[in-house]
Amino acid sequence: MARQTKKNKPQVLVRGLQRGLQVLRVLNTKSHASALEISRTTGLPRTTVYRLLDTLIEAGYVKIGNRPEEYCLAVGVCTLSDGYKEKAWLSGIAEPVITALGNDIVWPVDIATFDVDAMTIRYTTHSYSPLSLEQGVPGMRVPVLSTAIGRAYLAFCPEAERQLIIENLASGSTPDSELAQDAKAVKKIIAKVQRLGYGYRIGGILPKIGSIAVPVRQHIQVRASINMHFILSAISLDEAVKRYLQPLRQAAGKIETELSSAAKAIDLS
């Protein structure tokens, strides 16, 4: 029977969806289970369980296990928690490391992830760095090709992903679009960043500011980039690299290590 909400609109419950989620929870808990085990655990008829399993297999969330009549979760379930996991690792793992790094080097530090056609700042120490000339805020979107944090991502992400990003930028209307259309210039930037091992920017969109950045990797993927900003009248790019590149790499390494440990514990629950 439809239940009434506070606004007197009937709440229609999709029983099939509820039952499918029950099956996913059982497989998440047991790792592998037969239709009979799932039926006993959920109280659903075995014929219903088979139908649900067939549907979940077709959708890419469940697969047949290594033993007869056994089922387990498929890689598709990872997409169900991607958004949650990003917020979780950024707040639970990255933010404390970035805060500690900002306190240590004093210059403002950001961590950003790639989002469609720009880098999105996820956390920053600008608000409490005494050396900040700008007020970067979480959620701010910055260019890819013309920033240190974007270059660090682009230069070290997988080749296929890099080409897709560049093609998308070249056909779009972002601040990077014109540069992205110059294949030789882009190739030169990427090659230099790869050779140096870090992203860099001198002036440009912020004339008085320079930046250096390093990627945060997980297996072959780049999950984010970390950068620091410095005032060009106070310190040169070479001096910034000499003093602060190693602390940046150590912070990225710490996040990578904790991400690797956390990945083993992250599941559908």
We report the CATH number of the domain holding residue 65 as 1.10.10.10
Q: Is there a domain that residue 269 lies in?
A: no
Return all residues near 237 (Cβ < 8 A) that are at least 6 apart: 200, 202, 210, 212
Question: Are 85 and 63 within one domain?
Answer: no
Q: Is the pLDDT of residue 28 over 90?
A: no
Contact call for residues 181 and 166 (beta carbons, < 8 A): no
Instruction: Indicate whether 186 pLDDT > 50.
Output: yes
pLDDT at residue 266, rounded to an integer: 46
Among the three residues 34, 54, 73, which one is the final residue of a domain in this structure? 73
Indicate whether 247 pLDDT > 70.
yes
Query: Residue 267 above 60 pLDDT?
Result: no
Averaged pLDDT, 79-93: 66
Same domain, 160 and 237: yes
123: containing domain: 81-263
Residue 268 forms part of a structural domain: no
pLDDT of residue 44: 94
Q: What is the mean predicted confidence (pLDDT) over 154-171?
A: 94
| CB 38 within 8 Å of CB 73 | no
pLDDT at 12: 58
Look at residue 96 in the predicted model and tell me its pLDDT. 92
Number of domains in the chain: 2
Shared domain for 185 and 220, answered yes or no, is yes
3-state secondary structure of 140: coil
The answer as to whether 245 is a domain residue is yes
Q: Above 70 in pLDDT, residue 2?
A: no
| Angstrom distance (rounded) from CA 104 to CA 244 | 10
191 and 226 share one domain: yes
CA distance 83 to 105: 31
Q: Of 46, 25, 20, 36, give the one whose Cα is nearest residue 68.
A: 36
| Same domain as 158, residue 64 | no
9 inside domain: yes
Last residue of a domain, one of 40, 73, 106: 73
Q: Is the pLDDT of residue 204 over 70?
A: yes
